[in-house]
Amino acid sequence: MARRYRYISADSHFESPPDMWTHRVPAKYRDRAPRRIKLSNGMDAIVEEGKPIEYSGTNQFAGKSPEEFSPVALDFDNARGAGTGEERLKEQDADGIDAEVLYATEARNTAIRDKDAFLAIVRAFNDYFIEEFCAADPDRLIGVAVLPNIGVEEDIAEMKRCADMGFKTVRLHTYPSGRNYPTPEDDRFWAAALDLDMPLTIHTSFPQRTREREVYLLKYPKEPQGEERPPDFLQRIARHGIYHCGAVEAAQLILNGVFDRFPKLRIYWAENNIGWIPYFYQQMDQAYKVSASWAERLLGLKRLDRLPSEYLREHALWGFFDDPIGVELRHHVGVDRIMWSTDFPHIVTHWPRSLEVMEQQLAGVPNDERELMLAGNAVRFFHLDAA
């Protein structure tokens, strides 16, 4: 039966402890999965293979005031948003929202060098996520599948498997090939995602190994060396958004021609806010106009058919959570390209007052625009069954 959605958080988080899901990991790999340990002070810590012990974070903010919150302690047993799917539904009810798009990174420990073990743990988490946690109410708990991102074949296989299990979207942590820039082999993944009609999301951005000017953030047809080496054209194009989440990947996809080769591809960048985007679009186009000639001559970069911003206005969607300036500038982004969220239970959440804060920010926004940003765009993008 179709559900009526009024308020969908298009960016919330699964933050339950590992012992909630590691029983799904095959026994021979279970000792390589993340685990929770108790400290002498009663707090928790997370142990993962090849990584430092995690004692703290900003992910258990919900239900606390800024004065009482501490980012140097983990306490899953007493944290909001760290329970079962049934408990999460009660937390949604307390906040007055109808559904959440839920991101998780718990299974993707790339420090595990054993490919079979790594893939087994990723699959086990996805199995738990869709079959146990989200099964409490699949219409309200919209899990984002974790992809391994260690190779195109592995990503396509897991995406297909997750589609068969009922996932409505998958998250890219880096490009499917595992590189930090798009490669020709990634095209097979984009094609497979379109064939499956699987929505693709990026949460904030990919981890960039470096943003130093001497390191290119795109693989160019020509890469001059020495004194003839020009600046990184991508950094020229994206520089006004380079420290904003999503700007680098957006520029990489444009300049690599991904959107030209796959005109139906759409990507949602979650948790970036939107006030910076109109300025980014304007400055990106300006930089492109004055630099495209030398980029073609020195880097072999083919001219675009359109200005960079025109690609993003068609192919990119963006998430916001607390951005009154962005709401004012919404028409410069595109009202049909914006999704609201609560970021529960992370440090920017206003739970259980999310709707109160949202109403303050959307005061004066027409109802048809509100409905798109609060639910309609998410229903359309994630293919939800809505009344």
Instruction: Please report, for residues 66, 214, 249, 318, the alpha-carbon distance to residue 69 in angstroms, rounded to integers and kept in the order given.
Output: 5, 40, 33, 29
- Please provide the distance, in angstroms rounded to a whole number, between the alpha carbons at the two ends of the chain: 8
User: What is the DSSP code string of 89-103?
Assistant: HHHHHHHT-SEEEEE
If you average pLDDT over every residue of the chain, what do you get?
93
Side-by-side strand order, sheet with 141-146: 8-13, 99-103, 141-146, 169-171, 200-203, 267-270, 316-320, 338-340
How confident is the model over 239-294, as pLDDT tens digits? 766 666 899 999 999 999 999 999 999 999 999 999 999 999 999 999 999 999 99
Q: Can you give the pLDDT at residue 142?
A: 98
**Mean of the pLDDT values across residues 43-68?**
91
Compute the average pLDDT of residues 204-226. 72
Instruction: Please state which of the ranges 99-113, 116-130, 206-220 shows the lowest mean pLDDT.
Output: 206-220
* Torsions phi, psi for 35 (to 5 deg): -145, 155
